[in-house]
Structure formats: structure tokens, C-alpha cells
Amino acid sequence: MADQIMHQEASQSSLITTDTQTQAQLISAERLQFIQDGLKSSNSQIKIDSMKQMHDMLLAILNEKSAQQESHSALLLSIVQLSLDKLKDVYCALNSVQIISDLINLGASSNQMLFTKELVNQILKSCSSPNFHVPAYNYKTRNAVFRIYQTYILNKQILLDQVEPTLYISAVLSGIEEEKDPRNLIITYDLIYFILRNNASNPERQDQIKLIEPFLDDLFDKISCYFPINFEPPKDDKFKISPELLKEKLNRCFTASPLLAKQAFPFILDKLSAVQVETKLECYQLLQKMVEVTQPFKYVEKHLPVALHQTINEYFNNYEDTLQKISADTIGIIIKRINEQADKGISLSYVQKELEEVIEKCQNEISESPESISAFLAQELLSRFLDQQIIQPLTSGEINHNHKQLAFIQIIINILTKIADNKLRKPCEEYLQSVSNKIQLILDQSLTKILDQPVLFEKGMKLLSILSKFSNFHEILKISDSQAMIIDGQPVINKFDQYMLSLRDLLFDQREVVNQQTEQIIIEQLQKLSETQQNNVNSVFLSKLKEFFVSQGMAAFNETYVNSLIKQVLRGFEAIEFTFQIVNILIDSKKILSIKDTVIESLTQSIINFKPSNDSEKISFEILAEVSIKKILSQIFETQSFKELPSQVIIFLKTLMQQINESKSSEIFNQIIQQQVSEYSLNILYLITKKKSINLSNIEANTLRQFFQNGYSQPNQTLFSKIVFLILLRSGAKIDPNLKIIVDEALSSEFTSFDLKIQICAAFIVRGDQQGYNLIKSLVTDPKNSQNLIDLYQYSIVKNYSHLTKENGFHVFKLYPQRLFNTLYPILMKLSQQQETRQCGIQLMMQTCSIVNLSQLQDKLPELIPIAEEALLLESNSDIKITALQLFKKIIIDNQEQGMKYVDSFIPFIIESLNHDQSLQLKIESLHTLTELSQFPKNIIAKFKESVSKQSSKLLDDKKRIVRKFARNCINEWQSIGLI
């Protein structure tokens, strides 16, 4: 029997290796069956020969025309299945993957119908299954598998698009594990590069980040293990694989996705500590590329300071010529990348520190040992980035209006801006002084171009402004006696004074050459200059401004630059005295109530800008403000013109009020309440009580009572009530007896508005006074108050008063929210259970819950949740619904089992509330709640998946970006339900 089997095998082997078969014999089901029988043999050589024969059959089919290939589709499928089955057979593995590789490579374009989704996925899974561990096989087998992975990329539409990206990535990562053969590494690097470019090139796409994030560590490990490349090709290498090619393909993997930056930068910087020069050179070449191409900037932002610091140290501590040059180039590339962001609106809080580090390091090296190698390197580095590359090109000839020169000036501005905000500026100051002639030349040529080159003029003004922040500013701009200019009969030996006088003449005497845009540029930069050079700016412009007012009078305000100088530029006590001189002239001439809004606005801002430098200036300033306030009020009371008072005058008066002390405030308060009450007088009183404590003991009881009685008839009861509220809170630990009597009278009077009663009640509650809690209980239980109470309760009783503190002069009981809740809870619970008061009780309960920490409601949640559910169905304001949503979220987070009872009614309501008409807070709260609900058991919430996604998608075009963000996140979470 054994002999018979051996004979059959030999006969079969003979048949298989016959070379004279016809095409028809080669491509047939019978032939495939014959081959299949050979594959069942226990003889390894017969199996190998059978696989080769099957490979020949495949190639014969693929060499036919497309129509003929389609007639052999069944044979092709059988060949594929046989090959996939034989992958786990070590004798057949090589031929199997070669057959599959040739099939998808040659057949994908000519026989697309063959490659169904099922087959494409099966091939990929089989080529990465545990039964076929690719790294364990020889080079040819691995190479064939890698070519299969590669073919999926090349035939993306037919093959790759039919598989899940995660399946393809996992297959490739398992296949290329521990690959070392350079012939395969060429393909390996291409595969990793494609995966990163195709799935992680755009970090703004959340879907890409979510997909690739689980693989990032593995992908980085796969490329970092090969760096740096250490490969020398053998002599007469027929594959022609060079180290340069391997380095190029590996390096582009590091820059394929910005998501790798957080691992790649620390890795490369760590490698820089290697001793070998070749390794350092490779690191710098890759680091330069990463710094240049990684986008967006935020992915490299935090790594640049570290890279700059390390490269500077390398520059000064390694004297190898090639390393010297490449480290200097790298410093330049890093600084260039930092400066490029200045015009893109990116905040670079660390830039000034890092640029200073370069300059400080250079200056220290030079000063410590002027003739050392380090000093030489420092001078070289300084000249490299400032002198040679920026300042020298600017000063080598006349500066013209071209983009390169403007960019150079902007670079200087950017660098100095960063350094100027740093406390340690000495190295930079010394350097600037050493090139002061060149700096002056740049300024001279820029500031004279106001007519024909306004952009260059603006750059010059900005450069002058930023230079003024350095302590040796005047030394930088100092000139010799021979260069001095005679202006107003005096020699001016400082460029800054010359520039100021020129700007003054432009504004006051050469109006024909200054347009609105140029005027705005001058004013903006003068404002910045006055912050550091206040005395110089004032001495030039204030005297001229005074002369101008003497000659022009109030008509001087017709010039916009006059308003701007007063409003934005002139500072200090001399300037504020001048402002009050103008104010008093306006008051005495009775023009203060009719002056233009722009004038009042300028005077107001001037007062706001003033910061006294000592106690004497502060006292004098308060006296000036008090005198002006009393004059204005006297004129208002005299003419009874409160009703016609312009809004800007009110703002001006409020500004003055903020400058006086509390004793003066009390005097003015007493003076105002004795006058006829009007909306404007209430505005001033509101400002006083809001900002200042009032000494009521100096106010007669009848005066205070009359004020209350007059206030009852005011149309603006809300403002009057707020004033009473603030007065009560400012009355110290014990309310003034006269005030207490008057307030009690107001509460019992039939003429007192409900608004005032609520505000009095709120004041007592916030103070922790039991009278307030008794009063709110009576107001809540009185049915006739229900409608008014709902409207006013939220804006008075449960309003957020956290800004009213004892430190600011308000008497506040910190635990009043919890006390209010405990007081009203049983009452509101009872109201919410009675049919006639149900709606009022529910709304008041939700409003009361809104001021209490939800954690303090833990024991009340079972009772509150049904009320919250009903609150969601009411046509009430959004704040009540937000409180209800927060209660639901609280119980969902702490007790999911309890929360599931309300899911069926809760989710549909939220879905209905997702529309553009809702408030911003309600939309955000609703989307956030739905996002958290997506984590509920799938069998409970799956039925809402479609409706949540559909309704949430309506907010993807909301005008608020934060709403669009929450909507997208909500949709993503709900769409993932059922996918895992």
C-alpha cells in the first residue's frame, strides 16, 4: 500500500512538472483539482511544486484579457482560498503570499468585480493572523506580504477603502515588527508614512485623532528604533539601496503628522546627547525639518524653548566645525519659526525669554573672557542673527517700501517686544547701545516717510515705542553736539526729543499732510510712549495744547487729535490739572450739559487714566474731583435739568464719584436725596451705594423718609429698589434705627411696590436677618403674589450676590442660600403638590435649588426629580430648565439605577429643546447632558440614537462656536453606540 502511494506521488510530481501543457490544459478546474490533490500530499516538495503550478495557473489567467479573466473568476477565487488556507503551512507560505500579491497587484485593475469587501478583508486578516506570524518568516515571504500591504495603498479605491482603517493599521504594525532587512525597510517606511499622512495629517479633524491615537505609540516605536540609520551597503550591491535613501524615507515619517511631535521632539533632543558626531548631525538635520514643517504651530510651541536651549549649549560646547555650523543654522531656524508666528495672532509667552537667552548667553561669554573661543563664537552668533541678517541689510542703503525691509523691521520689533517684557534686559540693552547709530538710521529713514510710505512710518513709530521700554533708551538715541538741532531756540541732543517735536509739528502745524489713518498711528504710539516717557511727552505736547486752547478756546475740541491727546496720551498730575481746568471752564460757562459726547468722553477717560504717584497728588486729585462734582450737581439742581442730562455727562459724573472718599460720598448722597428724585439722580445714588459705604447717621430721619416716599412714585421702581437693597446691605452689623423704622413703614404701606418689598426682603435674607425669611414665607404663601413673585424672585431673592463681600463694605451672611432653601423647601413642596399653586411652586422650587450646591441636595433628590421633570415641560424661562437638567445629571452620575426611571421622558424633552431659539446656556447644558447620557446601557438608550443625532445636527451651524463644538461631540458619542 505504501508503495502504491509513493508511486502515485511520483506520478503526480511528474505530471505537475511537465512543461508541454497547452493553455487550455493549464487553466481548468480539473487541473486545479489535480493541484489541490498535490497540496494534500505529505511530501513537502510535492506541495511546493503544486503551489508553483498554481502560481503558473494564476499568471496564465491574469495574462488573459479582462473578459476571459471574468470567465475564470471561480478559478481565481479557488486559487485565493487555497493560498489563504496554505499560509499556515511553512512549506507553502512563500508561494501563498506571492500568489496573493500577484493576484491583487495584477488583477485589481482588470478584474475589479472579484475583489468583494469580504475577500479584501479576508486577505488582510489572513496576512496578519496569529497563525501566520510574518516576522518569523524569511526575507522573501516578508517582502511579499509588505507588497500586499503596499498594493492596498496603490489600489486604494478597490482595496483599502473596503477595510476599516484600524484593521489595516493593525495588520501593517504586526507585519513589520522587528524588520531589519534594508530591502524591506524601504517598503516599511513608506507604509508608516502613508498611514500617518492618510490618518493623522490633519489634527483639527477629531475623527482622525480618535482613530489614530491608539496606534501613535506603536507607530512612533516602529520608526524611532531605526534612528539613526547605521547602514553600509555591501560592495556591488545589486539592489542599489543607499544610506541616504533610507534616511530620507525614515525622516519623512517623523514629520508625517504633527501628532508625533510630543514624542519626536523629546526623542531627538535626547539623541543629541550622543557622543558620535555623525549621530548629532543626523539629529540636527531631522530637528531642522521638524521645526520647519510641523503644523499647526501649537504642536511645536512648547518644544522650541527646550530645543533652543540645548542647541545653544551645543554651539558653545562643541568645537567641531560641522557641528558648529549646523547648530548655528538650527538656532536660526528655531528663532525664525518663532518670529513667523508674530503676524498670525499666536500668543508666544515664552518667546522673550528664549530670545533673551541667546543674547544674554552671548554677552556673558564676551564679557567673561573677551579673547576666548567662546567669546568669538558669541560674537559670531550675535552678528549672525541681528547684525548680518537684519540690521545690516536695513542700514546698507536707503530704506524703501518693500516687503523684505518691512519684514526685517517687524522682526526687530518682534524680538524687542518679547525681550522688553522681561525683567532681565541688560544684555539686550548693551547690544542695542552698541549699534545705536544703526538703530537711529533705521528710525530716521522710517519716520521721515510719512507722506509717501505710511506703512514704513508706522513701523518706525512702533520701533520707537518698543525701544522706549529699555532703561538706556535715551543713551541709545543720544547724539553728539555736532548733530544737535536747534528747536525753539534750544539745542536738542537726543533723537527722541527731536522725534517728539516733529510729531508735535505734524499734528498742530502740518495738518495738510496728516490724514486720519496717520493721525491714528501717531496717537496710538504716543500713548505707548507716554507709559514709559511720560515727562518727555508731556513737556512737548502739554505746553502746545495749552497754547492751542488759549488761541482757540473750546473750538479746539473740533480737532480729533486734541480729544485723542487728552483721552489717550497725556498723563500725570500736570495733565490731570489741565483736564480739570477744562472741566471747570465748561461748568462755569454752563456748557457742561450741552458739550459734545466726544469731549466728555475724552475728559472722562483722562480722569480714569490718572494714577497718583504719591499721597499729596491723591489728596489734590480728590479735591479737584469733589469741587467739580459739587459744581455740576449745583448747576443741575439749579436748572432742574436732570431729565435732560446727556448720558455721557452721567458717565462723567459717575467717574468723578469713584475718585472721592466715603465721607465725601456720604455728603453728596445727603445732598442728592434732598432734591427731587428722578431717574438721573437715582443713577448717581445707585453708583454711590454700589461703590461706597454711606454713613446714614448724618442724614436726618425726615430726609430719608421723604426720599422713600418720593421713590414710591418713581416710574423706575427697579432702580429705586436696588438702591434701597444696597443701602440695607451697607448698614453694617446693625441697621441704623431710623432706616429700620422707615423700612418697616415701607413694608406695611399700601403704596409700596411689590418690587421694593422683594428687594427689602432680599436684603434681609442676604444679611441673615430673620425678618427677611419670615417675609419671604408670607410672600410665597400669598396666592395674589404668585405671578409677580415668579418674575421677581429670580432677579432678586436667588440672584448671585457672591460679589457683595464684607471686604467691599457689605454685610453678608455667607450661608444664606442654604438657610433660604431649608426655610422654603417644605412650603414650596406643598405648593407644588396642590393643583392651583402647582406651576408656581415648581418654578420657585427650581429657582431656589439653583443657588444651592447640588451636593447639598443629595437627600432631597428623590423628591426633587419628579418636580424637575415637570419643570422641563413648563413654558418657563431657560434658567429654571437648566436647574432641572442639572438635577437630573446629579442623580444620573450618583445613582444611575434611579436615573433610568426618567430616561424615557427626560431624553425626548431635551431633544425637543435643541433648537436655535433656546438660550446659549440651555443649548450647552442640553448637549452636555445628552453626551453624558450616551454612556448609559445601550439597550436603554439605543432607541434614541437617530433622533438625538438628527436634532443635534441642527446646531452644527449655530452662530456660537462653543455650541457647534458641543453638538459635534454629542453626535460623535451617540453615533458610536452599537459600534463596539
Average pLDDT, the chain: 80
- Is the domain of 30 the same as that of 125? no
pLDDT at residue 9 greater than cutoff 70: no
Do 126 and 252 belong together in one domain? yes
Domain boundary among 63, 93, 112: 112
The string of DSSP codes covering 550-609 is HHHGGGGGGSHHHHHIIIII--SHHHHHHHHHHHHHHHHTT-TTTS-HHHHHHHHHHHHH
Cell of 877: 424661562
pLDDT of 285: 92
Phi, psi of 423 (to 5 degrees): -75, -35
Residue 660: φ, ψ to 5°: -100, 160
Least confident of 240-254, 270-284, 781-795: 781-795
Peptide bond into 646 cis (omega under 30): no
Last residue of a domain, one of 112, 130, 147: 112
Q: Which of 211, 226, 256 is the last residue of a domain?
A: 256
Q: Sign (positive/negative) of CA torsion 746, 748, 751, 756?
A: positive
- For residues 160 and 153, is the Cβ–Cβ distance under 8 A? yes
Backbone angle region of 759, left / alpha / beta, with phi > 0 → left and psi within -120 to 50 → alpha = alpha
**Residues sharing a CB contact under 8 Å with residue 30, sequence separation 6 or more, in sequence order:** none
Give residue 264's pLDDT: 92
Q: What is the dihedral of CA 836, 838, 839, 842, to 10 degrees?
A: 160
764-789 per-position pLDDT tens digit: 888 888 988 898 888 888 877 766 77
User: Which of these ranges, 177-191, 198-212, 428-442, 779-793, has the smallest mean pLDDT?
Assistant: 779-793
More confident residue, 900 or 640: 900
Alpha helices (H) along 63-92: 66-71, 73-85
Predicted pLDDT of residue 365: 66
Is the domain of 211 the same as that of 124? yes
The Cα–Cα gap between 558 and 920 comes to 44
| 418 vs 911: which has the higher pLDDT | 911
- Quote the pLDDT of residue 266: 93
Tell me if 61 is assigned to some domain.
yes
What does the block give as the cell for 239?
539592489
**Nearest by Cα to 148 from 117, 131, 171, 132:** 171
- Which one, of 379, 385, 369, lies nearest residue 333 by Cα? 385
Residues 131 and 159 in one domain: yes
Scanning 127-229, the segments in alpha helix (DSSP H) are: 139-154, 165-175, 182-200, 206-212, 216-224
Q: Pick the range with the lowest mean pLDDT from 119-123, 414-418, 456-460, 952-956.
A: 414-418
Using DSSP's 3-state secondary structure scheme, residue 137 falls into coil
Reported as a pLDDT band with limits 50, 70 and 90, residue 11 is: very low
pTM of the model: 0.49
Same domain, 91 and 122: no
Do 203 and 137 lie in a common domain?
yes
Quickly state the pLDDT bin for 351 (edges 50, 70, 90).
very low
234 and 151 within one domain = yes
Based on the fold, state whether residues 223 and 244 are members of the same structural domain: yes
- Tell me, yes or no, whether 205 lies in a domain: yes
Residue 979's pLDDT is: 56
CA distance 698 to 729: 18
Residue 87 lies in a domain: yes
pLDDT at 350: 39
Residue 178 belongs to some domain of the structure? yes
Q: Assign 380 a pLDDT band (cuts: 50, 70, 90).
A: low
Same domain for 104 and 168: no
For the segment 659-681, the average pLDDT, to the nearest whole number, is 77
How many other CB atoms are there within 10 angstroms of residue 82's CB atom? 19
Q: In the predicted model, is pLDDT for residue 811 greater than 80?
A: yes
The pLDDT score that the predictor gives to residue 253 is 92
Number of domains forming the structure of the chain:
2
Beta bridge partners of 487: 490
Are residues 25 and 31 in contact, defined by beta-carbon separation less than 8 angstroms? yes
Lowest mean pLDDT among 303-312, 457-466, 743-752, 857-866: 857-866
Q: Give residue 930's pLDDT band: very low, low, confident or very high (50, 70, 90).
A: confident
- Comparing 194-198, 686-690, 941-945, the range with the smallest average pLDDT is 686-690
Q: For residue 34, tell me if it sits in a domain.
A: yes
Task: List phi, psi (to 5°) of 935.
Answer: -90, 0
Q: Is residue 180 part of a domain?
A: yes
Q: Cβ distance 847 to 816 under 8 Å?
A: no
Domain-located, residue 870: no
CB proximity list for 318: less than 8 A, separation 6 or greater: 280, 324, 327
Both 95 and 197 in one domain: the answer is no
Please indicate, yes or no, if residue 979 is contained in any of the structural domains: no
| Nearest 10 degrees: Cα torsion 669, 675, 678, 680 | -50
CB 911 within 8 A of CB 948: yes
The DSSP bridge pattern shows strands 490-492 and 485-487 to be antiparallel
Claim to verify: residue 68 and residue 193 sit in the same structural domain: no
pLDDT at 454 over 90: no
Q: Where are the alpha helices (DSSP H) in 589-730?
A: 597-609, 615-639, 647-657, 662-673, 679-691, 701-712, 717-729
Q: How far is CA 570 from CA 56, 536, 547, 578, in A?
A: 93, 10, 15, 10
Range of the domain at 60: 20-112
Look-up of cell digits 475564470: 72
Q: What is the pLDDT of residue 194?
A: 93
Q: Residue 797: is its pLDDT beyond 50?
A: yes
Q: Which of 193-197, 243-247, 738-742, 804-808 has the highest mean pLDDT?
A: 193-197
Question: Taking residues 484-491, what's their average pLDDT?
Answer: 61
Higher pLDDT, 702 or 537: 537
Are residues 206 and 82 part of one domain? Answer: no
- Report the Cα 406 to chain-centroid distance in Å: 29
- C-alpha Rg value of the chain to the nearest Å: 41
Residue 348 has what pLDDT? 34
